[in-house]
Amino acid sequence: MNYPTLTLALSLAFGTALNVFAAAPQLTPLFNGKDLTHFKAEESAEFWHADNGILIGENNAAKKGNYLWTEKSYADFVIEFDVRWKATTERGVDTGMEMRSPKIQLQLGISGSLRVDMSGSFYTGGKPAYPEAGQAKDAKKLMKPEGEWNTLRIQAKGNTFTCWINGQKASEYTDAKFSSPGPLGFQIHPGVVMKCEYRNIRLAEL
């Protein structure tokens, strides 16, 4: 056995592993599990609250919608969280996370405009509202059944937005229009009887 060659190969492999580890974004909690610190709570206290480590969003009796916005704006970032919901009406649950300015949204649940599940797809509000290039066409295969926790990872870097569902890449969309920093907003859609739950919300700026 050629020991110098083996030692060199192991050193290179170890060095590569260190570089990959060093390059990985270090996610830190955005939601502390206890209250709405880091969010604009005064605008959303009627709709959002923390309970035993879970961020819970529910609409009111008037079925009014709401966004829970972060106090800070973000440009390039990676965010990861667990989310679950269980529909109690035929309309289904309609939630998601908005980012950047002008706003682009990562849809979770039933689209209000299409009335189909568009989880993991990017909503631009334009025509079409869900560009085909940004649709998560295999989301149903990647997601666990309603009522179970699914892990979502969203990256906004430059003009490209990427979503992973339970560790698998689900969608990617590039559009220079959505380039300016903006707050992050978790959505309760108006006109819908719904409840959504988020936990382990962690974020890293890039």
**pLDDT tens digits for 41-64?**
998 999 999 999 999 999 999 999
Q: Left, alpha or beta for 173 (phi > 0: left; psi -120 to 50: alpha)? A: beta
Please state the pTM of the whole predicted model: 0.88
| Domains of the chain listed by start with CATH number | 27-205 (2.60.120.560)
The alpha carbon dihedral of 96, 27, 159, 183 has a sign of positive
Mean pLDDT over residues 63-77, rounded?
A: 97
- 141, 167 in Cβ contact below 8 A? no
**How does pLDDT run across 89-112, given as a tens digit for each residue?**
999 999 999 999 999 999 999 999
How high is the pLDDT of residue 5?
54
Phi-psi region of 137 (alpha: psi -120 to 50; beta: other; left: phi over 0): alpha
Contact in structure between 184 and 97 (CB atoms under 8 Å): yes
